[in-house]
Amino acid sequence: MAAEGQDNKPVRIVLVEDDEPIRRRLAAILNAWPGADLLAECATLAEAMAAIAAQPLDLLVTDLKLPDGNGIAAIQQLRRTQPEAEAMVISVMTDERIVLDAIEAGAAGYLLKDADSLDL
């Protein structure tokens, strides 16, 4: 993924988080980043799949446990349709198998939701 500034294009991001207060917090962090363009804020897997299909993106930030499925499906869809894009998981789940499943699906990283905003 090219960082903003290399080609002066913002990083196009889709955020997937079903918990509204957490989604708002993450969206505020991303919107405060001058190099970011938050394309969509999704609360469900269905919304995420539609956002991935609707436009090119550079980064998918997704929760895993969603009301209608698992964020790993969104990562897999992103890998199939936009292999140059990156995916990051943000979750409260720290089970080693879940982390490995996300990385095997194509996630480049795994962040914990309870991390400090600066760390995120």
Distance CA 116, CA 96 (A): 22
Q: Do the beta carbons of residue 23 and residue 41 sit within 8 Å?
A: yes
Q: State the number of CA atoms in the 13 A half-sphere of 12 facing the CB.
A: 12
**Which residues in 36-72 are b (16+ Cβ under 10 Å) and which e?**
bbbbbbbbebebbbebbeeeebbbbbbbbebeeebbb
3-state percent helix, strand, coil for the chain, nearest multiple of 5: 35, 25, 40
Summarize pLDDT for 62-79 with one digit per residue, the tens. 999 999 999 999 999 999
Percent with pLDDT over 90 in the chain: 71
Query: What pTM did the predictor assign?
Result: 0.86
pLDDT of residue 100: 85
